[in-house]
Amino acid sequence: MKLLEGKTAIITGASRGIGRGIAQVFAEQGANVAFTYSSSVEAGNALEKELKDVGVNAKGYQSNAASFEEAQKLADDVVNDFGSIDILVNNAGITKDNLLMRISEEDFDTVIEVNLKSVFNMTKAVQRTMLKQRKGSIINMSSVVGVKGNAGQTNYAASKAGIIGFSKSVALELGSRNIRSNVIAPGFIETEMTAKLDEATVKGWREGIPLKRGGTPEDVANACVFLASDLSAYVTGQTLNVDGGMLT
């Protein structure tokens, strides 16, 4: 028996990186997958085909997670196309790193809107459907940086810490309706986002991690399967660090 058989998942930001890994692993576990991206239409089309080849229902949507209206439309479209929404993975995220001295107001606001407001937008958009179904699992992608802070990432760390507070509050508000809300805080996961870093920094990070390697999208996806599936039926309001022991 596959762990997500018959469930429909929305995954934001799945054209590449961690989101793509989650979409692939969810499909292997039998989930029907609705996923979004911002601009990568070709990668989105390729992923849609790849997921359908696994034998599940899949569709990619170009949708800006930072837009309240687009999030609402996306949730409506997914209900029309798939019939239900059982799992929401708020994964879409960006970085615009700079020291506080140099960071612009625009770069602060953009990161908060794409990383944090998007979580509000999407959670609100799926809430009615999950309430009607009397079940749902929401998984929000934070970061170890949201737990610990990081020099040069005030905007990103604030957005990722905000996700943890939001997610715990949703767990308290919607627990009585069997809607669970949890956070994953990945450490150093090797994707395009981290490929922007210089090799010396990357080498230093790998050496500092107790498991002595960067994580893969699949490492994060496997933790998402646990939180999305009924295996975690009694787990809500939690933050799971998927970081090779980095924060230990």
Ligand X SMILES: NC(=O)c1ccc[n+]([C@@H]2O[C@H](COP(=O)([O-])OP(=O)(O)OC[C@H]3O[C@@H](n4cnc5c(N)ncnc54)[C@H](OP(=O)(O)O)[C@@H]3O)[C@@H](O)[C@H]2O)c1
Active site residues: 156
CB contact at 8 A, 12 and 36 = yes
In angstroms, what CA-CA distances link 115 with 66, 92, 162, 191, 214?
8, 7, 9, 17, 22
Q: Shortest distance, CB of residue 135 to ligand X, whole angstroms?
A: 25
The reply, when asked if residue 16 is annotated as ligand binding, is yes
CB of 164 to ligand X, least distance (A): 12
| Tokens describing residue 79 | 């209900």
Cβ–Cβ < 8 Å for 155, 112: yes
Closest to ligand X by CB, 150 vs 178, is 150
3-state secondary structure 190-222: CCHHHHCCCHHHHHHHHHHCCCCCCECHHHHHH
**8, 26 contact by CB (below 8 A):** no
Minimum gap (Å) between residue 2 Cβ and ligand X:
24
**Strand ranges (E), 13-91:** 32-37, 58-62, 87-90
Provide the Cα torsion 34, 40, 45, 46; round to 10°: -110
- Residue 112, marked binder: no
Our CB check for ligand X shows the closer of 19 and 244 to be 19
Q: At closest approach, how far in Å is the CB of 37 from ligand X?
A: 4
Instruction: Tell me if 156 is assigned to a ligand binding site.
Output: yes
Q: Is 157 annotated as a binding residue?
A: yes
Whether 189 has a binding-site annotation, put simply, is: yes
CA distances from 126 to 71, 72, 89, 181, 182 (A): 9, 8, 11, 13, 15
- What are the residues binding ligand X (CB under 6 A)? 12-19, 36-40, 64-66, 91-94, 114, 141, 143, 186, 188-189, 191-194
Q: Check whether 85 is labelled as a binding-site residue.
A: no
- 7 or 117: whose CB is closer to ligand X? 117
> Closer to ligand X at the Cβ: 2 or 97?
97
Shortest Cβ distance from residue 186 to ligand X (Å)? 4
Q: Which is nearer to ligand X, 4 or 23 (CB)?
A: 23
CA dist 91 and 139 (Å) reads 8
Instruction: Point out which residues pair with 88 in neighbouring strands.
Output: 10, 138
**Amino acid identity, residue 109?**
D
Binding residues for NADP(+): 13-16, 91, 156-160, 189
